[in-house]
Amino acid sequence: MTITTLSSRELNQDVTRAKKAAKDGPVFITDRGRPAHVLLSIEEYQRLAGMKRNLVDVLSMPGLADIEIEIPRSRALPRVADFE
């Protein structure tokens, strides 16, 4: 993991650089030489926040349309529902 430090001015002048650096680790953004903000990739943020993805989010991710999946049919026999 690489830690990058940028001043607010450097961030404003080259946002793309900051976004690329965030892929490799946190980017500390300083105001007047003091750390003020941290830029993280969304994956790192979710990991740190302990966020769990739901099935809809996972299945709607780009690139999943190319994945083939075969789900075997269940061999279990249907049962009559008991509503008593």
Task: Check if the beta carbon of residue 28 is closer than 8 Å to that of residue 5.
Answer: yes
Query: Could you tell me which of 32, 31, 53 has the C-alpha nearest to residue 42?
Result: 53
Which pLDDT score, from 0 to 100, does residue 77 have? 80
Superfamily of domain 4-61: YefM-like domain (3.40.1620.10)
| pTM of full prediction above 0.75 | no
**Tens digit of pLDDT for each residue in 36-83?**
999 999 988 888 887 776 777 767 767 666 667 777 888 888 888 888
Which pLDDT score, from 0 to 100, does residue 3 have? 92
